[in-house]
Structure formats: structure tokens, C-alpha cells
Amino acid sequence: MSDGSGTAEFLFTYGTLQLPDVQLDTFGRVVEGEDDSLAGHRLEWVDVGDERVAQLSGLDEHPILRRTGDARDRVFGRVLTLDPEELDAADEYEVALYRRTSVVLASGRTAWVYVSA
């Protein structure tokens, strides 16, 4: 999914990828982020179904984005600036319940986000 050019990738996080322990394990560092939000979506909770991910996050259930199309629905989170290898690592962390897609956030920034597969 990365083009290998070494450019910065923006990832909108709304769940466990905001946790320092998860970031250290996934990216090898704690990533500072900026607050942002995504309209037209809401959070639901799902059984992650992956023991390693559940142990790392400390949660058996993880939030997942579902598109509603209703502008009144809004999910708040943080935008992380990652390199392409870190974005690939985030793909490895996320289980099959999620797929990565591009969205435009309230700030106007285009970012990747994991939504319900």
C-alpha cells in the first residue's frame, strides 16, 4: 500500500493505535499526533479475535468505524504522521476485521483510516 518513496503518511487513529504500549510495539516509538475528527461515521465495538492484539492493548473488544453517511455522526481521534514502513506495520497490527481506506478529515487533511471490512 505504500509507494516506497519515503514520504509521510497520515493515519487517523481512534482506538488502540493511540496507546503508547501499542505504538512502541508496532512502530518502535511513541508517535505524537494531532486531534482531528471524521464526520459520517460512528464507533462500534467488536471482539478483536486475536490473542496477541488483545494482550497488547489490554482489551478483548476494540472500536471499529462504521460509515453512516450522516454528517451529525462524528468520530474523534488523532492523526499520526508515519513513514511507509510504519504504515505497513499498522496494517500488520490490525486484524482482518479492518481494512484501510483514505478519508478527508474535519481539518481538510487526507488520511488513512481503518474501517470495518
Q: What is the mean pLDDT of residues 81-87?
A: 96
In a domain, 4, yes or no: no
Lookup: cell for 107: 481539518
Q: Which domain CATH number covers 83? A: 3.10.490.10
Is residue 2 a part of any domain in this protein?
no
For residue 71, the enclosing domain spans: 9-116
Structural domain count of the chain: 1
| Any domain includes 18 | yes
Does the residue 66 lie in any domain? yes
**Of 84, 79, 116, whose CA–CA distance to 97 is shortest?**
116
pLDDT bracket for residue 47 (50, 70, 90): confident
| In a domain? residue 92 | yes
Contact present, 103 and 113 (Cβ < 8 Å): yes
1 falls within a domain: no
User: Which pLDDT belongs to residue 53?
Assistant: 67
pLDDT of the residue at 30: 97
pLDDT given at position 98: 86
Joined together, the cell numbers standing for residue 32 give 505524537
In a domain, 111, yes or no: yes
- The answer to whether 10 and 79 are in contact (CB under 8 A) is yes
